[in-house]
Structure 1
Amino acid sequence: MKHKIDPKHPKPLGAAQRKRLQAVADMPDEAIDYSDIPALSAAFWAAHRPARTEPKAQVTLRIDRDVLDYFKGGGSGYQTRINDVLRSFVIAHTSGRR
């Protein structure tokens, strides 16, 4: 039997599912076992870049030379990789504060 999931109209979670999710949400990050999740390669991230609909702002940014060299060392798309790292920082420091 196949099941189809409609992401725009998800099935509501049951009480047991909500309880399990809340238990994980309440855990400190250090207590979560990630050992069964394989590391994702740079090739994976190059092929799976999230689509953005909003335009990016052009800015002048001063970055330490060694940091810039590191990102440029990954080839083209270094500015997008820098943006991705900055976005991850913002998400990590703003989640749950909205």
Structure 2
Amino acid sequence: MKYKIDPKHPKPLATAQRKRMQAVADMPDEAIDYSDIPALSPAFWAAHRPARAEPKAQVTLRIDRDVLDYFKDGGAGYQTRINDVLRSFVAAHTSDRR
């Protein structure tokens, strides 16, 4: 049997599920066990690039040589990988500024 999930119209959570979700939401980040989440590999980043709604801006940026070498060692697309890491950082810290 196959099920289709519509992310725009999710099935309502049961009371127990809502309580569990709220319990996790109320926990400080340091108390949440992330050990069962695997590290994201370079293959993941290669296959999961978000669509860009607007063109990128060209800038000059000074980066430590070892950091630049790390990204360049991954081959073509190193600037996009740097952008993806910066985007991830911004997403993780956006709520901190509100």
Q: TM-score range by the shorter chain?
A: 0.7 to 0.9
Q: Determine the structure 1 residue equivalent to 2:37.
A: 37
Q: CA deviation at 1:97?
A: 5.0
Q: Please, which moves more after superposition, 52-61 or 1-10?
A: 1-10
Aligned alpha-carbon RMSD (Å): 2.1
**Mapping 1:17-96, distance limit 5 Å:** 17-95=17-95
CA distance in 2, matches of 1:38, 1:31: 18
CA distance in 2, matches of 1:55, 1:23: 40
CA distance in 1, matches of 2:52, 2:15: 34
Q: Percent identity?
A: 90
Q: CA deviation at 1:96?
A: 6.1
Q: Which runs of 5+ in 1 are unaligned?
A: none
Give secondary structure in 1 for the equivalent of 2:90.
helix
Q: Which runs of 5+ in 2 are unaligned?
A: none
Q: Higher relative contact order by CA 8 Å / sep ≥ 6: 1 or 2?
A: 2
Q: TM-score, normalised by structure 2?
A: 0.79
CA distance in 2, matches of 1:15, 1:55: 44
